[in-house]
Structure 1
Amino acid sequence: MHAGRHFTLTEVLVWTRRQIFMVLILALVPTALYAGLGWHWLALPWVPIALVGTATAFVVGFKNNATYSRLWEARQVWGSIVNTSRALAVIVRDCVDDAPANGPGFLNAREQLVHRHLAWLTALRYQLREPRVWENMNQPANVEYSRKYHIAERETTLADELSRYLSPADAAYVLSKKNRATHLLALQSKQLKELLDAGHLDRLLHLQLVPLVVDLYDQLGKCERLKNFPYPRQFATINLFFVRLFAGLVPFGLLQEFEKLGGYAVWLTVPFSALVAWIFLAMERAGETAENPFEGGPNDVPITALARTIEIDLRELLDEPEIPAALQPVNNILL
């Protein structure tokens, strides 16, 4: 997530410089042939090109609206995760008896339940950072920009992170599974049942905690849907083809328009064609950055920072002495 006021013009130009070079060449070649060699047959009427541009604008607008909806839904899901996490920790703190924990390294079952929830958040964000073939972080411009910040999930291992929250037995069990987040919630449910059977948890309070675990399963499923089902490829493909088609046609339609000004004005086709095409290409790229809200881009939902915020709140609810610091933006990027 960009945490500054806005991207600078320099950042945008550097990020889209490959598109700028491409549209300059697309405009320079027909202009040089038209003005230098007299190939006037290259000029096309502007009206049909304008119609293509209108259709392209609708397609780009549709895509950007749809991809923004995906991004906003992802933020809403993580907002629900924040709220449910706090509710779970408060009820566990106040309603679970001071029962001994099942594993070493924990003071009591309350601490174990809260720490296992922090492990669930960790496993979830690592799963959401796993790359998919349709994601965009491997594009050269995005790779270059990612050097401005750090994606924590790609610098540490899940095993090391889980060791901070789980007993060795629980960590080994979870790491042996494919969907680690699912099995961590299953362990939560299992321990709550054990506490109920042992008399350390009231039955009515158990009935309050179970829906919270179910709600976390629901939020997990929503995250997996957004992660594993991309913006439909047919729409993404058509959008890309339309934008590139329009960018290639623009200079052919402007040749005669600028020639009417006389003299060397026809060469104005190059900068103005590049400007018009760049606007459409930049809008297409902007929509593309919102397609996959968890891949670790500068416009994604800051799941690492949100997980750290939850950890701070939950550790403070347990009155733990060591509270981690909140994550701060690096070059205005918060992940």
Structure 2
Amino acid sequence: MHLGKSYTLPEFIIWSRRQLYALLACGALPIVLYQFLGLKWLSIPLSVVVLLGTATSFIVGFKNVQTYNRASEAQQVWTAILTGSRFLGVISRDFPAGPAAGRELILRHCAWLTALRYQLRTPKVWENADNISNVEYRKHYRVPEWEAPLEQELARYLPQAEIDTLMHAESKTSRLLGTQATTIKRLLETGEISNAFYMELGSSIRDAFEQQGRAERIKDYPYPRQYAVINKLFVRSFCVLLPFGILTEFEKLNDVVSGFMHGNMIWLVIPFSTMISWMYLALEQVGESTENPFEGSPNDVPIALICRKIERELMEMLGEKSPIPEPASPHGIVL
């Protein structure tokens, strides 16, 4: 997640430069056809372009609101996971069965957090992390889940026998929560915890399942494809038609200017159409980079950072003295 004050204009331009190249070509083509080949009939009434631009503005705005809502919900999910983890740490610290039993539950909870973040970072076909512009920007940050295998990370929390069984499970996160439930049931049956503790721990596991389900819904179900397609169609249609719509408007300016620009005002179609079209395309690109908040982009929820924060707090509650790895140092202002 970008944690600075803002992206800079050069960053935006470099990120979207391929679109700018295409827009410059789209702006130059109508001038060549109109000015040099004499195809005056190619000019489109400006009112048509304005109408299309208005419709495009609505649909782009609608998409960006919806994609922001997805990102906002993802942040809410992980805030709830952070809160629930702290609650688990507090009751495990005062565990009637002793610190060993509480430590087992805490370590398995950390394993669940690790398995969940690895699951959420698994690439999906509709995600945009592999777009060339996003791949180029990856030099500014790291994605820890793509650097080390899950089994290696789980070795910090679980015995090897449990890891071997877990790695064959279809849903590793659900298997870990199921094992957690089995453990607290065993503790209740052996009298190591009271019914009150059992109910609180059961509630904690239920909340973990709920937040996992919310995160999986965001990850596994994309922004509706029909809206995504119509958004791209509208934006690109507007960008192509805009230069044809303002040709005659700039040509009329030749009557009121003199000097070098007299007779050449039509060339201003290129920079102005590029600038206006770039605004629409940049908004669309921002929406695409926001709609999948777990894909591994600089606009994602920083789940690795949150998991490390949770782990450090839980171990401190248990009185652990062994050092816990710090989150990866940010490159610049992207975590």
**TM-score scaled by length of structure 1:** 0.95
Tell me the percent identity: 46
SS at match of 1:296: coil
Gaps of 5+ in 1: 100-107
Question: Displacement, 1:150?
Answer: 1.2
Q: Does 1:14 align with 2:31?
A: no
Question: Displacement, 1:96?
Answer: 3.6
| Contact 2:28 2:270 (C-alpha < 8 Å) held by counterparts | yes
Question: Displacement, 1:211?
Answer: 0.7
Alignment of 1:95-106 (within 5 A): 95-98=95-98
| Contact 2:95 2:102 (C-alpha < 8 Å) held by counterparts | no
Cα deviation per residue 1:99-128 (whole Å; 9 max; x = unaligned)?
7xxxxxxxx221111011000000000000
Alignment of 1:120-139 (within 5 A): 120-139=112-131
Question: Displacement, 1:325?
Answer: 2.4
SS at match of 2:253: coil
Q: Does 1:311 align with 2:308?
A: no
1:113 to 100, 105, 109: 105
2:132 to 125, 140, 144: 140
Question: Displacement, 1:95?
Answer: 2.5
Alignment of 1:1-335 (within 5 A): 1-98=1-98, 108-262=100-254, 263-321=263-321, 322-334=323-335
SS at match of 1:261: helix
**Cα distance in structure 2, aligned partners of 1:325 and 1:147:** 20
Report the counterpart of residue 105 of structure 1 in structure 2: none
| RMSD after superposition | 1.0
Amino acid at match of 1:14: I
**Cα distance in structure 1, aligned partners of 2:126 and 2:138:** 18
**Cα distance in structure 2, aligned partners of 1:130 and 1:252:** 43
**Cα distance in structure 2, aligned partners of 1:40 and 1:279:** 28
Question: Displacement, 1:37?
Answer: 2.5
**Cα distance in structure 2, aligned partners of 1:266 and 1:279:** 21
**Cα distance in structure 2, aligned partners of 1:128 and 1:317:** 27
Cα deviation per residue 1:243-283 (whole Å; 9 max; x = unaligned)?
00000000001100000111200000010011111000000
Range with greater deviation from structure 2 (316-325 or 71-80): 316-325
**Cα distance in structure 1, aligned partners of 2:42 and 2:111:** 63
Question: Displacement, 1:169?
Answer: 1.6
**Cα distance in structure 1, aligned partners of 2:247 and 2:105:** 70
**Cα distance in structure 2, aligned partners of 1:113 and 1:327:** 26
Report the counterpart of residue 104 of structure 1 in structure 2: none
Cα deviation per residue 1:216-256 (whole Å; 9 max; x = unaligned)?
00001111110000000000000000000000000001100
Question: Displacement, 1:326?
Answer: 4.2
Question: Displacement, 1:77?
Answer: 0.5
Count of residues in Structure 1 that have an aligned counterpart in Structure 2: 326
Gaps of 5+ in 2: 255-262
Amino acid at match of 1:180: K
